[in-house]
Structure 1
């Protein structure tokens, strides 16, 4: 997606207690990083993606779709080898990852699974949105976005289990907003020279016109200020990248959904596809908790950085959560590794 370079990813079985870990080799330099855990400790800020620090100033980028497929497939243990520095984007969704995991199969393991159960509401705010966890049975989400020019308010809520994820969330694609290109052009020196100020203001306003695609009457999910927690200075310092890195060099039709004026060029897979992809990314990023979450997640305009801040600050408030044995789901009780 961002580097525009090819990569090879291999998922292999791992013993109970191993977790999701990456071994990375850069084909260009031969540099290696072994046994990098998928967790908030290794999280490193990256533009428009979730990345892990693999040492020597290098990153493994765009892990969120693969992590979402693993989490939704209830895979707790896997050894992942990457030849490259970015997980392939494929068609911009998680459907192919889910299909490959299903083809490989799952093996129940002897160690009982554990989950992070939310005991008390916990919310962080930032970057024009918020993210809140509330006590609840199972894992459910209520996610909205109201900052996509031309789309108005998009909102999706419901439980996230393997079947629902594959049918309703996994096919949704990463998206790029063509309106942002137009708005950037209006800021240029040439636009200021050629267009009167009043015209530029009108064109700017039109880029935000609401053309809601999934029905009238929707409102964004509501924050709860009484449950808001501050984001620590150390966490804030880790939220935003300070280095220059490749961006969107591999983005093109067939790999991302292009949004323009309240529409998806070439057709949408769902009327509210952008917010469903927000949920896909959220599921993948929450996988960095290292355990399934039991509770209700409510968010408006979540981002990768905000989810990182949420998980990091949540871990600092153990009064809001507890680790509990996870009841069996379907056949057998235990963690799972890929085969």
Structure 2
């Protein structure tokens, strides 16, 4: 069951604020990237410089990044028909890119090794530049949302601060907390799943970590790799707002449905200001 507590005090008038002195940013060069998807197919992406927000191009149709067309299916976030967008979006936010055209030749974005490292390498290699357009920042409203024991709270503010607490009550994953400082500290963290010790996927787990009560396979890249990936996912999910945003966010055991639920409510309040 959902539970929502929202403040009646608005963070700002209008849908968004002009960020003084900051400009919108896109990539400098066109680039391509391809890799395996969770479905086992190979997906190809073409990144294009753009000046009208974040747009996904798939089968001749353009899908402007917006909460109005976001969905969560099979533990993946989709924009329109394009699935698995959260890792790319996290990197875009971390690199302060708010204008790009992503051409998707496939049904979903690549998963690679379960991390966002390939997206980071590709986009940083293309370079970025500022457009002659002021950056618009969405000011988050005060709100608390709970869902099946998970919770996410927002306090309005002029800066972006994100902290998560992850406590899965699992013998191999102790309670941890982590705050967002730089996307470079998160892009290498792989996705993970809780599985049984006899799960056949553990013998060749290509797309992340398999966690059982007996251990983690393959070995984690750091003891806090799971919470780092949780934070990566949260950042990508929040960027489905479609533009940069500001506020202090505290999340306890976040998940895609909770994160996207918050995005939708923030979007609705923004348009009712």
Report the TM-score range of the alignment, normalised by the length of the smaller protein.
Answer: 0.7 to 0.9
SS of residue paired to 2:229: helix
Q: How many residues align?
A: 235
1:98 to 110, 114, 120: 120
Counterparts of 1:23 and 1:97, CA distance in 2: 17
Structure 1 residue 262: Cα displacement:
6.6
Which structure shows the higher helix fraction?
A: 1
Conservation of the 8 A alpha-carbon contact between 2:233 and 2:256: yes
1:35 to 62, 65, 85: 62
Conservation of the 8 A alpha-carbon contact between 1:154 and 1:275: no
Deviation readout 1:159-207 (Å, 9 max, x if unpaired): 43xxx211x211110112124x77xx9xxxxxxxxxxxxxxxxxxxxxx
SS of residue paired to 2:145: strand
Which structure shows the higher strand fraction?
A: 2
RMSD of the TM alignment (CA)? 2.4
- Partner of 2:84 in structure 1? 62
Deviation readout 1:132-156 (Å, 9 max, x if unpaired): 1113452222112222532354333
4+ runs of 1 displaced by more than 6 Å? Answer: none
Higher relative contact order (CA 8 A, sep 6+): 1
Higher alpha-carbon Rg:
1
CA change 1:10–1:148 in 2 (3 A) is farther
Structure 1 residue 158: Cα displacement:
2.4
Conservation of the 8 A alpha-carbon contact between 1:144 and 1:153: no
- Structure 1 unmatched runs, 5+: 25-31, 54-58, 186-248, 323-339
Counterparts of 1:131 and 1:178, CA distance in 2: 26
Counterparts of 2:163 and 2:228, CA distance in 1: 10
Counterparts of 1:263 and 1:291, CA distance in 2: 39
Counterparts of 1:319 and 1:10, CA distance in 2: 32
Counterparts of 1:159 and 1:61, CA distance in 2: 25
SS of residue paired to 1:36: strand
Conservation of the 8 A alpha-carbon contact between 2:67 and 2:267: no
Counterparts of 1:290 and 1:52, CA distance in 2: 11
Deviation readout 1:97-145 (Å, 9 max, x if unpaired): 1111110000110101121223x53111113201111134522221122
Is residue 110 of structure 1 aligned with residue 110 of structure 2? no
Counterparts of 1:291 and 1:60, CA distance in 2: 19
1:122 to 143, 152, 157: 143
- Structure 2 unmatched runs, 5+: 1-36
- Partner of 2:48 in structure 1? 12
Is residue 315 of structure 1 aligned with residue 267 of structure 2? yes
Conservation of the 8 A alpha-carbon contact between 1:139 and 1:159: no
Counterparts of 1:61 and 1:262, CA distance in 2: 32
CA change 1:49–1:319 in 2 (3 A) is closer
- Partner of 2:74 in structure 1? 47
Is residue 268 of structure 1 aligned with residue 220 of structure 2? yes
Structure 1 residue 271: Cα displacement:
0.9
Aligned positions of 1:122-141 closer than 5 A: 122-141=143-162
Counterparts of 2:47 and 2:204, CA distance in 1: 26
Counterparts of 1:82 and 1:99, CA distance in 2: 18
- Mean alpha-carbon deviation: is it higher for 33-42 or for 141-150? 141-150
TM score, norm. by length of structure 2: 0.78
Deviation readout 1:207-252 (Å, 9 max, x if unpaired): xxxxxxxxxxxxxxxxxxxxxxxxxxxxxxxxxxxxxxxxxx9x95
